[in-house]
Amino acid sequence: MVRRRVASFGYAFQGVWSALKTEVHLQFHAAATVVVLGLGLYLGLARWEWVAVVVAIGAVWSAELVNTAVETLVNLVSPGYHPLAGRAKDVAAGAVLVMAVAALAVGLLIFGPKLWALLA
């Protein structure tokens, strides 16, 4: 039982790593994550600010991974063009866009005033 649970974490990490190696958008999100975490450390975010930033990062990564899974599955079951396959892929990509815009709003609300104060 424990061995299967541990193995399932391994498969999950393999999935993240596989997507990270092949998906340009996820690589962009990874780079943005490093920048945001570094900036948060530099600016000394409060605990509640870290919570918002970490939740936003996790949500964007999750949306991107689900989008990758949807695109992969759609490509498997519909290798040729089909309007419904295209719609499924577009909707999944739209979910990533919505979450990324929400994460950007979180970033602007948290980092904006701190960066503005440094520049002023």
> Binding site for substrate, residues?
4, 64
What's this model's pTM, rounded to 2 decimal places?
0.91
Amino acid symbol at 81: Y
Residues 101 and 120: their CA atoms lie apart, in Å, by 26
Question: How many C-beta atoms surround the C-beta of residue 51 within 10 A?
Answer: 11
**Residue stretches of the annotated binding site for a divalent metal cation:** 23, 71
Question: Catalytic residues, which ones?
Answer: 64
Q: Evaluate whether 16 touches 65 at the Cβ level (below 8 Å).
A: yes
pLDDT digits (tens, 9 = 90+) for 59-109: 999 999 999 999 999 999 999 999 999 999 999 999 999 999 999 999 999
Domain assignments of the chain as residue spans, ordered by start? 1-119
Query: Which architecture does CATH list for 1-119?
Result: Orthogonal Bundle (1.10)
